[in-house]
Structure 1
């Protein structure tokens, strides 16, 4: 399998189009056509991780965090980032990252936290906007089903737990073919009227290229008329953070004891306890202070995240409890998620869970 084959599989779980604009995702080092000898999955790519990849004969590192975040202007080995990139290049090791693409994926980082905590009835905390698009096209009546099958297979017409969703209206289309045309129906130089169906359906923006390709290949006309519009609808299946519920209410002390054990947290920084029972929980892996307002609006009892600043704890305002368990701690199970996913998709391929310690924070 090539690097391209592996990354295509990963992007079925977390399409790169899901990533935030500020992020740097995708293949950071390497050639997509390279044959892969083994995959090492890690949270961060440091020099010790590259050494581990060499030892395990893996020439592709799949890293949640990007080692190259802002632009590199030189490679002199003066910074840890430069040293990692130099070592990877010298040893023909590719580096791929999906970061916020996996953060925003329905079955990504935050879903994994919910799974570890045993939360049910989960849903996205902050759904993404403008990830849904609408296709409108015009198809001769006798070719509608053929076109539907093609575009549905490519990903069109999926709305939540439903697929093959569309709407059709019959009407009449007209066209006049010039002398350079090769019309499927009608005669060159004469206005032709054809019974057509206006076919419309919704799709995720990451499927656009495949849908348009299959629309054109399945459509009988030489020139295919279609429109695509970006929708303002929020997408409840893509976005940051997640909300879920415990099976039963527990006290704050009980919940925090359980949280510390399940998330392997050395310490929990938190706002004032509200002395209310805990049932509804919001989680957001990594730096999540921007989502405090969304957690309040969701009516949760506790919001679990990381990297909260001193004054941000005041924002709890006795409406919920803010729990900062640490950046590494919120994302530590991400590499397990990716290893499990890849192992199921390519069971006879060498996929390794990195054993290297990459948490930059030590605890006294």
Structure 2
């Protein structure tokens, strides 16, 4: 199939608009209209990953971490980033990354960690704000349902686990059609009063063009009146980290050993035990120290993440246990998540999980 079929699907699950400013998710090498024969899924994209794809005749690599984070000015093969890009281009292999945008969705990286650890009733730990908008438009009574349906189909009106959400109020609209117009109702040169419905819907900002296009396509008026509002509401479905509860209380040391086993961690760096049971669990795949205060405020007993610096451990102040399990260890199941998502929607497409352990950190036990 064409590469764009697969990338469009992945971006519908984790929209690129949800990635952090520093990130570089998306198609890094390749072009959208190329035919793809099969994909290799990995956490990182290294030279050995390219070699594995070549060996198995796969011309797409889907990685969590982007191989390129900032602009490359020269391709001399002086570092592994340049060598990976050169080899991928030489062998006509596309590279697609799905990073912080997959971290930030409610069914993404952090949900997978929670599932592995038996954490239930999960919600986003730090929801994002400023990414929701509201559209208000005005339709004649007989066309209101058609307008609503078109906007719903384009992605408007989703609030939490509810869809097709809108507010509607009846009123009277006025207008006077000028020369050269072709009004749906009324006469040219005369003011017209029309019974109308005011329709309001919330939507994520990245869908704005699609929703407005759908609205214009079915709206009967020659000139469609509408208002757009940026909202400060928190978007509970998008954000950093996740928090939930265990089915029953766990002993601290017992739960730390459980984490170590489930994540295959060689070592867990953690703060002092508090002689309290573990029930509320916060997680963040990758570097999550920036969420410590969110985890404390949410009442977490333990915060499972990676890349804490020495002095940051003091910031726990005995309010919870910080469990630093390692960056690779916390995100390794992203590969499994991607395999499941793609297989479910493209059951006949050739997929392979890498056999390479790309963790650059080694431990002397």
For normalisation by structure 1, the TM-score amounts to 0.98
1:164-313 matches, within 5 Å, as: 164-313=164-313
Question: How far, CA to CA, are the matches of 1:74 and 1:241 in structure 2?
Answer: 36
Question: How far, CA to CA, are the matches of 2:355 and 2:147 in structure 1?
Answer: 49
Question: How far, CA to CA, are the matches of 1:61 and 1:183 in structure 2?
Answer: 53
Structure 1 window deviating more from structure 2 (9-18 vs 281-290): it is 9-18
Instruction: Specify every segment of 5 or more residues in structure 1 that has no aligned partner in the other structure, as ranges.
Output: none
Per the alignment, residue 92 of structure 1 pairs with: 92
Secondary structure of the 2:202 match is strand
Q: CA deviation at 1:29?
A: 1.0
Residues 180-236 of structure 1, C-alpha deviations (whole Å, 9 max, x = no match): 322222223332222111110111223222211111111011221111111100011
Per the alignment, residue 81 of structure 1 pairs with: 81
Question: How far, CA to CA, are the matches of 1:284 and 1:53 in structure 2?
Answer: 30
Secondary structure of the 2:283 match is strand
Structure 1 window deviating more from structure 2 (337-346 vs 166-175): it is 166-175
Residues 321-351 of structure 1, C-alpha deviations (whole Å, 9 max, x = no match): 0010000000000011001100001101112
In the alignment, is residue 44 of structure 1 matched against residue 51 of structure 2?
Answer: no
For normalisation by structure 2, the TM-score amounts to 0.98
Secondary structure of the 1:21 match is coil
Secondary structure of the 1:304 match is strand
Question: Contact 2:39–2:58 (CA<8 Å) still a contact in 1?
Answer: yes
Per the alignment, residue 156 of structure 1 pairs with: 156
Per the alignment, residue 140 of structure 1 pairs with: 140
Question: Contact 2:177–2:187 (CA<8 Å) still a contact in 1?
Answer: yes
Question: How far, CA to CA, are the matches of 1:65 and 1:81 in structure 2?
Answer: 12
Secondary structure of the 2:237 match is strand
Secondary structure of the 1:36 match is coil
Question: Contact 2:22–2:69 (CA<8 Å) still a contact in 1?
Answer: no
Question: How far, CA to CA, are the matches of 2:106 and 2:218 in structure 1?
Answer: 31
1:48-59 matches, within 5 Å, as: 48-59=48-59
In the alignment, is residue 352 of structure 1 matched against residue 336 of structure 2?
Answer: no
Per the alignment, residue 340 of structure 2 pairs with: 340
Q: CA deviation at 1:238?
A: 0.8
Question: How far, CA to CA, are the matches of 1:100 and 1:268 in structure 2?
Answer: 24
Structure 1 window deviating more from structure 2 (19-28 vs 291-300): it is 19-28
Residues 82-125 of structure 1, C-alpha deviations (whole Å, 9 max, x = no match): 00000111111111112000000110010000000011111110
Question: How far, CA to CA, are the matches of 1:174 and 1:71 in structure 2?
Answer: 54
Residues 57-93 of structure 1, C-alpha deviations (whole Å, 9 max, x = no match): 2211111101000111111100100000001111111
Secondary structure of the 1:246 match is strand
Question: How far, CA to CA, are the matches of 1:216 and 1:200 in structure 2?
Answer: 15
Q: CA deviation at 1:175?
A: 2.1
Q: CA deviation at 1:12?
A: 2.0
Question: How far, CA to CA, are the matches of 1:222 and 1:56 in structure 2?
Answer: 56
